[in-house]
Structure formats: structure tokens, C-alpha cells
Amino acid sequence: MKKLIVLISGSGSNLEAISKACSEGIINGVIASVISNNPNAYGLERAKKNNLSYKVINHKKFENREKFDEELSNYISSIEPDLIILAGFMRILGKKLSDKYFGKIINIHPSLLPKYPGLDTHERVLKNNDSFHGISIHYVSSELDAGPLIAQGKFQIKNNLSEEELKEKIHKIEHILYPKIIKEICDDRIHLEGNKVIFKNLKSSNNIIYENYDL
């Protein structure tokens, strides 16, 4: 059984989906710790409700990013996880930390990367009148939202959707696809060799798993 760490900053809805998949035996893993940089994150309430160990490492208490990263790295090292999962973690990890755990950290991003790295993805999608929107799951590198892609889930934008409606659809896909990909990683069917994602007995196209959703 794989040892997982989940990093959050906000509501923790993806944490909830991952925890559920673990408790139901879908993911062959256990969440060893939840880490939040935000002491007021609602995701901490979800962690308590699901009897998950958690730790707050408040970035505001550190004089610089390097000190925060050092504390975070030390805590992660003490747990020795098999996989580190960023689930709405709103801090950019420094190069030293992301290089140290390269191949062990994954992230979920609310856009079809390489489109729209960073923030305000839903707003940018609407502004550019895109026909499709979706999510990307990728290994974390030292470059923002640019690590090797693992999977993408997309849907067609129908009618005049609001930013909030787009966000709701994105969350639905996240809660399905993220646990699914974590399951495959924990089952050793997805791993990283150098900068290339390797899939074992999984259907992929251009070395990425694609899923389309009718939402």
C-alpha cells in the first residue's frame, strides 16, 4: 500500500474525493498526512472528518519562500511518501524542493495545458471564446504548470456558461479523473522515466491519457 501526502490550500474537495477512493479500496494507498499552508482552509475540516492526520505549515510565518520550502521539505522527508499530491495547493514550490521530489509530485490544473498556466483559467477561457475547457494532471517540475503531462479531461463549452458554471463542471471532472490517475500510479501502471511518462497497459494518445466528458 502506497503512502500518500496531499497538499491543500482551500476547500479540499479533491482531498475528499481522494480520501473516499482510498477508504473504498479503489486507490491502493493511504493518506499519511494532509498539509495546508492556510490555517483556515476548509480542507482541514474535511481531514478531521475523515480522521486524517494533518499539519499546517503557514507560509506567512516564514521570512521567505526558501524557508517555507525547507520546512515543507523536512516534514515531507519525515514521512517518506511514495506520492505527493497537490490538490488546490496555491503555493509555487521552489526549484530545490520540486527537483528533490521530481517524479513523486503530481498536480491538477484547471485548464488544458499548455493553455493557461497559472491563475484565472476560467476567465481566460471565456475571454478567448474557447470551444473546449478541461483539466490537466501532470508531474510537477520547477517550471510553473509545465511538468510532464499525464492526463487531460475535457468538455465542450455549450451555451453561454458563466465562470461559476465552468468551475462546477471542472470540479466534476477533477473528482473523477484525479483519483483514477492516482490509482494507476499506486498500482505502478504510471511512472516517470526522465521526462517521459510511462504507461503500462493503459490506453494513451501522444503519451497522454485523454478523457472526454459530456457535461
**Domains and their CATH numbers in the chain:** 2-213 (3.40.50.170)
Q: Which residues sit opposite 33 in a β-bridge?
A: 5
Alpha carbon distance, N-terminus to C-terminus of the chain: 34
> Are 133 and 112 spatial neighbours (Cβ–Cβ below 8 Å)?
yes
**Peptide bond between residue 114 and the one before it cis (omega within 30 degrees of 0):** yes
Q: Which residue has the cell 493557461?
A: 116
Secondary element (H or E) of residue 40: none
pLDDT tens for each residue of the chain, 215 residues long: 999 999 999 999 999 999 999 999 999 999 999 999 999 999 999 999 999 999 999 999 999 999 999 999 999 999 999 999 999 999 999 999 999 999 999 999 999 999 999 999 999 999 999 999 999 999 999 998 999 999 999 999 988 889 999 999 999 999 999 999 999 999 999 999 999 999 999 988 888 999 999 98
Q: Which residues are catalytic?
A: 109
C-alpha cell at position 104: 513523486
Give 94's DSSP letter: P
pTM of the model: 0.96
Specify the pLDDT at position 170: 97
